[in-house]
Chains A and B, each alone.
Chain A
Amino acid sequence: NAGVTQTPKFRILKIGQSMTLQCTQDMNHNYMYWYRQDPGMGLKLIYYSVGAGITDKGEVPNGYNVSRSTTEDFPLRLELAAPSQTSVYFCASRGRATDTQYFGPGTRLTVL
């Protein structure tokens, strides 16, 4: 099992550009999450999904969108990149029968 994979690993965007951060898990997990981690600020939940076709906002959803058309994939979309979105983004997944979250390796995004 590859677990949770994220692409790209690094990306530099200009203000106003858009991009999609990809997240895929091969553990057949129902739950998937997107977090951002700023230095010294801990992980903040952006969006989450409890199953295919269902998404909900987390603590810091503004400026982002998500979709969950399959169990495996949970892409995060930035429509109009802003410097405040410079951060490290982590995707995570969890099975229905467990409370443990499994994290991907992260995407480091810089918006200039």
Chain B
Amino acid sequence: SQKIEQNSEALNIQEGKTATLTCNYTNYSPAYLQWYRQDPGRGPVFLLLIRENEKEKRKERLKVTFDTTLKQSLFHITASQPADSATYLCALDVDTDKLIFGTGTRLQVFP
């Protein structure tokens, strides 16, 4: 069956450092991959989408890579700030209509 894995352990980093989150998947060939941010008590908010023919995508301090051979995406936040503390979810398209979500990784940026 299709499976998406994100590190369930929280990632704790110091302000100013680069945070790197991982999303691995199996039994799957997605056309694209998305990253969402979720704050406690709120719904997920879309951050970035990267397609299968793209290696890297950037938006301000965010960078996403997509390796379809390794079946892995990396999500980077450079110059991290305490306000970046949240849970980050990756999602893959199951078909043209639906997404499947990972369990998310909680990021904590401390001053």
Interface residues of A (CB under 8 A from B): 4, 31, 33, 35, 40-43, 45, 48, 50, 56, 58, 90, 92, 99-106
Contacts and interface: CB of A to CB of B under 8 A. Distances in A.
A42 B34 contact: no
Contact of A43 (B32, B45, B89, B97): B89
Interface in B65-111: 89, 93, 97-104
B59 interface: no
Given A42-B103, A100-B34, A106 B42 contact: yes
Contacts of A100: 34, 46, 49
B47 to A, nearest CB: 10
A99 B49 contact: yes
A42 B41 CA distance: 14
Given A102-B46, A103-B45, A106-B42, A42 B89 contact: yes
Nearest to B104: A42
Contacts, number: 46
B59 to A, nearest CB: 13
A109 B49 CA distance: 31
29 contacts: A4-B43, A33-B98, A40-B8, A40-B103, A41-B103, A42-B89, A42-B103, A43-B89, A43-B101, A45-B99, A48-B97, A50-B97, A56-B97, A58-B98, A90-B44, A99-B32, A99-B34, A99-B93, A100-B34, A100-B49, A101-B46, A101-B99, A103-B43, A103-B44, A103-B45, A104-B43, A105-B43, A106-B41, A106-B43
Nearest to A106: B43
Nearest to B51: A99
Contacts of A56: 97
